[in-house]
Amino acid sequence: MTAGWKTVPLGEVIQQRKEFIEIDDIQTYKRARVQLHAKGIVLRDIVEGSLVKTKRQQVSRAGEFLVAEIDAKVGGFGMVPDELDGAIVSSHYFLFQIDETKLERRFLDFYIRTPSFRDQVEAQGSTNYAAIRPAHVLGYQIPLPPLTEQRRIVARIEALAAQIDEARRLRKEAVAEAEAMCRAIITQDSDSKPTPMSELVRMRPSDVAVQSDETYQFAGVYCFGRGVFRSVTKTGMEFAYPRLTRLERGNFVYPKLMAWEGALGVVPEECDGMVVSTEFPVFEVLTDRVFPEVLDIHFKNPAVWPELSGSSTGTNVRRRRLNPGDFLKYKFPLPSRPVQETVRKVKAEVNAMNRLQSETAAELDALLPAILDRAFKGEL
């Protein structure tokens, strides 16, 4: 630690505050919750008092340090944001006021995200009892430079964090712009021909007989054109499907229930070999007619989803189902082969950018902890 910085117990700069109220059944309340891994405090829900089972609740105030009794050891703590001023929490949370004549609240906010602080929390108590008590919190140590230095450090951290966020934003924008260019290439092709999907894809059978003692890696499909992703791992005894379909890279897949919300996509390389249930029709793409990349771009377009909604069955909007037979009747505006080749090349560049974004995302995520580590060593 930099010479001249004191290290003090938190009890010197914060104090526990208790403010309990009796819940009124006819009033409405905001409820707060902690996110694990020091990711902060967020809104849990807004409820009528009649739905709150425990009628004696605490009231949190903006800028307070909130700690979860049970989840603290896994990062269940954070600063109450302004928008949650007055939100209620149960007695299993501890609230602490900050003495802002000694401690800048944003300085504490950044410090509680460091390994140094997390190590203190995790070391407290026995392995058989994970909960912590207010006395534990008040005993945690914090470096305490003068307020002017605290504010300088906070400003420096915030400036560097803003640069990291800007780098993330620019990468996302580059990918979005490239995909928009692909859509424009397709929609502006005057030689495209409306073609039934039945001429472009072939439905694959459910080819995996489920074994109760086997483990299966499932894939899912995000709504709103966000594609296929790695989902959950389950053993055969954990679900009721007698058969599954194993995905292959380049297949086209969607969930029957959510296709009308843009949950359609081409299987990427990282999901090759995963499985889906029979609620997910899977199609082999006939690449002599259409490239998978062209289908992927088309079905990510929000303008297309209402057309699929019209083909879906069910009277309840939340229960519409796009059955394979209706999907195969859908008229796809098949671009000319030269246009498809162009889209395929641009999509390859988009995929390369996505891979780079995934690789650098971890690097960007690691930057802030490194910045915080330097900051609380007095090196910023």
- Residue 379 and residue 279 in one domain: no
Mean pLDDT of the chain: 88
- Residue 235 and residue 269 in one domain: yes
Is 356 part of any domain?
yes
Q: With beta carbons less than 8 A apart as the criterion, state whether 244 and 212 touch.
A: no
Residue 250 has, within 13 A of its CA and on its CB side, a CA count of 10
Is 133 part of any domain?
yes
179 three-class SS? helix
pLDDT score for 367: 67
Q: How many domains does the chain have?
A: 3
Is 47 part of any domain?
yes
66-105: burial string, b at 16+ Cβ within 10 Å, e else? bbbbebbbbbbbbbbbeebeebbbeeebbbbebeeeebbb
- Residue 214 and residue 262 in one domain: yes
- Residue 341 and residue 328 in one domain: no
Q: Which residue has the higher pLDDT, 135 or 167?
A: 135
Residue 375 has, within 13 A of its CA and on its CB side, a CA count of 31
Tell me how far apart the alpha carbons of residues 77 and 91 are, in angstroms, rounded to a whole number. 14
- Residue 240 and residue 283 in one domain: yes
- Residue 85 and residue 212 in one domain: no
Tell me how far apart the alpha carbons of residues 330 and 196 are, in angstroms, rounded to a whole number. 5
Q: Which CATH number characterizes residue 104's domain?
A: 3.90.220.20
- Both tokens of 280, joined, read 């997910």
Note the pLDDT tens digit of each residue in 26-37. Answer: 999 999 999 998
- Residue 303 and residue 172 in one domain: no
127-147: burial string, b at 16+ Cβ within 10 Å, e else? eeeeebebebbbebebbbbee
pLDDT score for 78: 95
A 10 A CB-CB count for 368 gives 16
- Residue 201 and residue 315 in one domain: yes
Note the pLDDT tens digit of each residue in 173-232. Answer: 877 788 888 888 888 888 999 999 999 999 999 999 999 999 999 999 999 998 999 998
- Residue 101 and residue 168 in one domain: no
Tell me how far apart the alpha carbons of residues 1 and 374 are, in angstroms, rounded to a whole number. 10
Tell me how far apart the alpha carbons of residues 51 and 295 are, in angstroms, rounded to a whole number. 47
pLDDT score for 176: 79
Is 153 part of any domain?
no
- Residue 84 and residue 115 in one domain: yes
* DSSP per position, 308-321: HHHH-B-SSGGG-B
Helix (H) or strand (E) holding 357: helix 337-375
pLDDT score for 127: 47
Q: Which residue has the higher pLDDT, 361 or 60?
A: 60
* 194 Cβ contact partners less than 8 Å away, ≥ 6 residues apart: 331, 332, 333, 334
Is 170 part of any domain?
yes
Quickly state the pLDDT bin for 115 (edges 50, 70, 90). Answer: confident
pTM of the predicted protein model: 0.58
- Residue 91 and residue 27 in one domain: yes
Range of the domain at 81: 6-145
Is 135 part of any domain?
yes
- Residue 318 and residue 232 in one domain: yes
